[in-house]
Amino acid sequence: MRLGALYTYWVPLGFVLAVTIIREAVEEIRCYVRDKDVNSQVYSRLTARGTIKVKSSSIQVGDLIIVEKNQRVPADMIFLRTSEKNGSCFLRTDQLDGETDWKLRLPVACTQRLPTAADLLQIRAHVYAEEPNIDIHNFVGTFNREDSDPPISESLSIENALWAGTIIASGTVVGVVIYTGRELRSVMNTSNPRSKIGLFDLEVNCLTKILFGALVVVSLVMVALQHFAGRWYLQIIRFLLLFSNIIPISLRVNLDMGKIVYSWVIRRDSKIPGTVVRSSTIPEQLGRISYLLTDKTGTLTQNEMVFKRLHLGTVAYGLDSMDEVQSHIFSVYTQQSQEPPAQKGPTVTTKVRRTMSSRVHEAVKAIALCHNVTPVYESDGVTDQAEAEKQYEDSCRVYQASSPDEDESTGEITFYMKGADVVMAGIVQYNDWLEEECGNMAREGLRVLVVAKKSLAEEQYQDFEARYVQAKLSVYDRSLKVATVIESLEMEMELLCLTGVEDQLQADVRPTLETLRNAGIKVWMLTGDKLETATCTAKNAHLVTRNQDIHIFQLVTNRGGAHLELNAFRRKHDCALVISGDSLEVCLKYYEYEFMELACQCPAVVCCRCAPTQKAQIVRLLQERTGKLTCAVGDGGNDVSMIQEADCGVGVEGKEGKQASLAADFSITQFKHLGRLLMVHGRNSYKRSAALSQFVIHRSLCISTMQAVFSSVFYFASVPLYQGFLIIGYSTIYTMFPVFSLVLDKDVKSEVAMLYPELYKDLLKGRPLSYKTFLIWVLISIYQGSTIMYGALLLFESEFVHIVAISFTSLILTELLMVALTIQTWHWLMTVAELLSLACYIASLVFLHEFIDVYFIATLSFLWKVSVITLVSCLPLYVLKYLRRRFSPPSYSKLTS
């Protein structure tokens, strides 16, 4: 029953499995080590026995944890105490929400008043916290101290919460843990990472299934031609083993080793320094991306704003006239210092026209006060608040700020407010220039901020404060009640000025986006930022070209509104879409198919106010609806879900840390590197793997065709043509290196691929590896296998050993020549591989006397017969290739000629 030596079957299979398992194991071990490092970080826990050290993985709900400055918060906590004298601390939240400005956090008032941190263990108190949810911007809870007289109850909001993943930027804080593990806000906003299998691998698997079907059919045909004589079912098994070469076992090894080479080439590319390949299983995906989904903050922009315009209605100041603003403010303060003290008693005030200086002063004062700004002193790049008491040198002072919508001023009570023009238009008093000037500044790609103020009487403020405190203590519908109270102030405000600022773009964002567009890739920008900000950035980055209209999808809350807006959008053509996350949610709920159909036709889509889970949902919908490959790129912890969900995730290492880059399949240091990663490395990886896989299939089908011809000629006998080492050697030392050298092949130089991104478009149709190309290679294999075998039989020298010698030598030479025919750009390693393989075969003939007659191969008869057979099997294909290049050249050949 056994056909040939047993090792000819299990050695190739064992080698394939070993290579695959080792490669997967290396990546898993790297991931495990990274996770262990994070989970093993040590923190201090406050206990009755003093402070003890604890690993972050051992922290539990109810623990009192001390977090030092520049340490990452290990769990979701309520802020109880800080070492800062001002009774507050700043957080860096970039890994959570993608924003780099520092956020102000306030401790619970009654615990901050305690003399020492150890006193926290002496009080009797409990915390009420809402159920775990994904909202990172809001929190509802209460802190109740029961051992005081009377009992103290304080409301807890987002200002008192320290979410896991944020970093303490000032002082040392103590917090009580309220959520851990899967209940963490950051964890609930990330999806479970999936093991990504490339589309290319799925296509190869499909072709392998077809080959398996062919194996079964050929075996059945052979037995049928014997008229199912005798123990025909055993004959079927013998033929299945005999033709098992139809299924190319070495294909998996070649492709896996090819992926390792592609990863190495990407890492070694000096044009994209710092690029890391974290998942070596899907480099071919980079060559077939149809949709790119990108974050805005830190990815397209630098997280830095440049002040461009101050507009007061009648006059505007730009960067070139800021000295005028300075002189106006200087004159106001000079006049104030020279004025005599005000006389007591009633004074007659007349309605005096305010001077330009006073208007500029009022506007600049509002801009300055409408912030929470803290001076921080840095020495050698390390922030140190204690430096404030030692020195006041401007060189080491920096300002850090969060950006709330109110602040108090001394003297009279003034309510300052800033916001987007669409919101502020209904809040400020009527004027005739706001809308027009906002439109003008928006067209220039500037983000517009409207600044207004309102003077309050003491009674008005006291009434507001009482209602505000009461609303903040509410457990149910707190945010709605607080918003209602605040809205009572936000009316009939005095318009002070408009400010225009511009997002600083990352280097070469515009040419990179243009390259991607020309390559046939549609770009969607998904951001947590406001609609106005997102629209301005889309224009500024040329995500939306100048000749394209922008349709801003109005806010909808119900099915009817969504239906009307979709109809309005349907009437527009070649129009970019801007939509908010809330409106998107409604559209997807009622009209998912219709909305996705319209959105996919847009040249560009901008989704603003997107939650992390919503970003992932959009990626998933694109994959399901279009069946095309998606690539997601981002730089913050809020982009992790999107990166993991996409077919190909790219993380940008930037100001927002490494969370996105560690979760991604590919990590880059700048957005502009994405162009080369896709146009050059993605394109090459896909084309090389396509050529390699089809050649390995051709190699297997050739020898299987020869076996089929041999069995047919000898009355359908299940006798092997080649045995033992010949079978193993054929796919390893004799042809492996030349075939594998195809992973170094390229059709055009990298500079040409970058200059003509249109070349990338050809790959989106999947032509390098298709049923058509597969069929062509099958026909080539059948032709060459038949030619070699019939040629050897025709020139038969009356001994079976001579058939083996002639056919096997012709087969090896044919494979080497076919590799040379397939190569488009020669590399010196390819030449070495060809010559080395030929030398190995000639040298090994001495040891193959069991299968090949050594004396026969030294004769002139052997040489001319092998030469004729090889020529007949290869020459027609060379002629066909020449004619095709002559009369129907591929697009890339026009650029290389």
Active site residues: 295
Element (H, E) at 549: strand 549-552
Mark out the alpha helices in 81-148 (DSSP H runs). 94-97, 109-112
Element (H, E) at 209: helix 199-225
117 is written with which tokens?
């941190």
Q: Do 374 and 342 form a contact (C-beta atoms < 8 A)?
A: no
> How far is 478 from 412, CA to CA, in rounded Å?
30
Helix, strand or coil, per DSSP, at residue 577: strand
What's the burial of 86, exposed, middle or buried (CB within 10 Å: 0-12/13-18/19+)? Answer: exposed
Mode of pairing for the β-strands spanning 666-668 and 648-652: parallel
> How far is 233 from 238, CA to CA, in rounded Å?
9
128, β-bridge pairs: 142
Per-residue burial over 678-706, b = 16 or more CB atoms within 10 Å of its CB, e = otherwise = bbbbbbbbbbbbbbbbbbbbbbbbbbbbb
Q: Do 83 and 168 form a contact (C-beta atoms < 8 A)?
A: no
836 is written with which tokens?
């080395």
Helix, strand or coil, per DSSP, at residue 118: helix
Angle among Cα 310, 311, 312 to the nearest 5 degrees reads 125
What's the burial of 150, exposed, middle or buried (CB within 10 Å: 0-12/13-18/19+)? Answer: exposed
Token match 């917090």: residue? 175
CA distances from 418 to 157, 387, 433 (A): 22, 33, 17
Q: Do 133 and 157 form a contact (C-beta atoms < 8 A)?
A: no
DSSP string across 625-694: HH--EEEEEE-SGGGHHHHHHSSEEEEE-BTTBSHHHHHSSEEESSTTHHHHIIIIIIHHHHHHHHHHHH
Angle among Cα 472, 474, 477 to the nearest 5 degrees reads 100
Element (H, E) at 374: strand 372-379
User: Of 197, 198, 200, 196, nearest to 766 (Cα)?
Assistant: 200
Q: Do 65 and 59 form a contact (C-beta atoms < 8 A)?
A: yes
> How far is 80 from 152, CA to CA, in rounded Å?
14
Angle among Cα 453, 459, 463 to the nearest 5 degrees reads 90
